């Protein structure tokens, strides 16, 4: 089934073998920004099943370059592992680097963090809000995959609210507090204290 609107468009899909298992990759285009986003689906589900879901915002440094100053790469890997273990599920990979400020600005923010600011203060020092991400495209992505009910893997309650606002039922929120390192403990504390993320703070001691 294909669902498009004037801004968001489903483009194509193909098999994607990974070291976790065989996924299908679905390509989507935001025609206003020309940004390309993908969904990775695994297994099968019925129309009203609660489908395991991870909404993951792009993090080149964590996802591809193995940075340990955030937990993004660890969460991406754990989410894909979980989906395969569950037997089905979807990961929506959204191209909004650095909570929406872009890669170069994220590097500038990293420099400010090296000088003593936290991740929120660094974004604000550069003139940005703490989090500029937008989840509107998720509605078309999930509709294309015939998903109406999800069990979301996230520590961020804002993702739950965004899904519910677009008419997606969230039957459960599963924490994905995975990948604590000495390099990212302060970053995770800041996300918990200032951005409202739900995280087991005992893991940060």
Residues annotated in a binding site for Zn(2+): 59, 70, 72
Tell me, yes or no, if 19 is annotated catalytic.
Answer: no
Rg (CA), the chain: 17
Tell me, yes or no, if 95 is annotated catalytic.
Answer: no
Handedness of CA 63, 66, 69, 74 (dihedral sign): positive
Apex 85 CA angle, 46 and 96, nearest 5: 80
Identified catalytic residue from 30, 118, 131, 177: 131
Polymer length of the chain: 205
- Which residues on neighbouring strands pair with residue 28, listed in sequence order? 10, 37
Q: Residues at the annotated binding site?
A: 54-59, 70, 72, 75, 97-99, 119, 154, 159
Identified catalytic residue from 63, 118, 133, 177: 133
Q: Residues at the annotated binding site for GTP?
A: 54-58, 75, 97-99, 119, 154, 159
Return the percent helix, strand and coil in the chain, to nearest 5.
Answer: 35, 25, 40
Whether 12 contacts 27, CB under 8 Å: yes
Active site residues: 131, 133
């Amino acid at each position: 089934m294909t669902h498009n609107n004037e801004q968001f468009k489903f483009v194509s899909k193909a098999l994607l073998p990974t070291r976790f298992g065989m996924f299908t990759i679905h390509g989507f285009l935001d025609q206003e920004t020309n940004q390309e986003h993908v969904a990775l689906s695994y297994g099968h589900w019925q129309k009203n099943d609660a489908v395991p879901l991870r909404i993951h915002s792009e993090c080149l440094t964590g996802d591809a370059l193995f940075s340990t100053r955030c937990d993004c790469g660890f969460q991406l890997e754990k989410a894909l592992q979980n989906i395969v273990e569950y037997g089905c599920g979807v990961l929506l990979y959204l191209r909004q680097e650095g909570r929406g400020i872009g890669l170069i600005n994220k590097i500038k923010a990293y420099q400010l963090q090296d000088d003593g600011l936290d991740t929120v203060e660094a974004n604000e020092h550069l003139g940005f809000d703490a989090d500029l991400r937008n989840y509107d495209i998720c509605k078309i992505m999930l509709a294309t995959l015939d998903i109406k009910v999800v069990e979301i893997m996230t520590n961020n309650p804002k993702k739950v609210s965004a899904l519910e606002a677009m008419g997606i039922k969230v039957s459960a929120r599963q924490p994905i507090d995975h990948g604590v390192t000495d390099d990212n403990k302060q970053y995770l504390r800041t996300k918990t204290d200032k951005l409202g993320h739900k995280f087991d703070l005992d893991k940060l001691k």
